[in-house]
Amino acid sequence: MAFALAVHAGAGTLQPEKQIQPFIHAGLRAALLAGFAVLADGGTALDAVTAAVVTMEDNPLFNAGRGSVLTMEGSAEMDAAIMEGAGRRAGAVGGITGPRNPILAARMVMQRSEHVLLVGEGAIRFLREQGMAMETPDYFVTERRQAVLLAELSRRADELNKPSHDAAKAQDSKHGTVGAVACDKAGTLAAATSTGGMTAKLPGRLSDSPLIGAGTFADNATCAVSATGHGEPFIRWVVAHDVSARMRYLRETLDQAAGNVVAELAQVGGSGGLIAVDTSGRITLPFNSQGMYRGTIGVDGAPMTAIWREKLT
Ligand code: ASP
């Protein structure tokens, strides 16, 4: 039976310094191989997307876990969600600082509580009671993200004095997210998404990532989706579920459904993209921004990655 996995690590006006590009490819490959090891061994899609996202959360280059972007007050507040396509089981956390791997926190909410989404202090209390180890807040904060925050705050101060402020364009350079979707040997789907959100966000702001149906969705009847981009339009357009709904009600293929949703988003200033997989292991990776950190792996075990519009290699 075929299996497949795709990952992303954010979309937008990607301008990684030349010297860090190999590390981005390496980070994507490490995530793909972690998920592949699970799937090749007959493991579940849920375990595969968890393993892939954990590696990217631990990688300070990506906006999730350690290295998350910072709120306007300089703290890291993270969101994550996980969903399984058999029975639509789901768990999510929002606005948390503490668990090293927010995706494991989301999974704990799914497996050990009767709820889908826990946020803030209540979430932390629950996770602590469940025995989850906590990091101190400074574990998540990197110098690189502090520099980006300072640049963003001073850009905002300058923008206030300029008449034409292209808000959508300005958003592009300061977000990112990591995510994974998988189809396992049994044909079960799963999706996982984890993010620090957007640079200089208001404390308390939630992204699309932890919202089931917006940034994350999985249903064995259709597909598994993890999205990345400017979260507010992704929430209002209920992106991940819209891909599934088009397949279900309009009988569109995975490619058509995902492509149409991402094209529609472009028209309303929703910059970004998504990764999706169906139960036959087909993968699609559409985006409407300059690029999207992305990669795929299948039964041959060869990780393929790309940053901008070039083909996966
Ligand atoms: N969707 C995330 C957010 O709105 C950011 C991203 O995916 O780039 O916070």
C-alpha span between 268 and 271 (Å, rounded)? 9
Total domains present in the chain: 1
- Measured between alpha carbons, how far apart are the two ends of the chain, in Å? 24
- Express each pLDDT in 123-177 by its tens digit: 999 999 999 999 999 999 999 999 999 999 999 998 877 755 454 444 444 678 9
The structure tokens listed for 95 are 């606005």
Write the residue with the smallest CA distance to atom 7 of ligand 1.
Answer: 228
- How far does the centroid of ligand 1 lie from the alpha carbon of residue 263, in Å? 18
Ligand 1 atom with least separation from CA of 231: 4
Query: What are the pocket residues of ligand 1 if the criterion is a CB atom closer than 6 Å to any ligand atom?
Result: 10, 175-177, 195, 197-198, 207-209, 215, 228-231
Residue 313 lies in a domain: no
Residue 312 lies in a domain: no
Catalytic residue among 177, 228, 284, 305: 177
- Express each pLDDT in 289-302 by its tens digit: 999 999 999 999 99
Domain limits for position 152: 4-306
Ligand 1 atom with least separation from CA of 197: 9
177 is catalytic: yes
Contact 90, 110 (CB under 8 A): yes
What element of type H or E holds 115? none
Residue 118 lies in a domain: yes
Residue 62 lies in a domain: yes
Residue 251 lies in a domain: yes
CATH number of 22's domain: 3.60.20.30
CA dihedral 126, 201, 265, 155 (to 10 degrees): -160
Residue 280 lies in a domain: yes
Q: Tell the residue number behind the tokens 């954990």, with chain if given.
A: 54
The model carries a pTM of 0.95
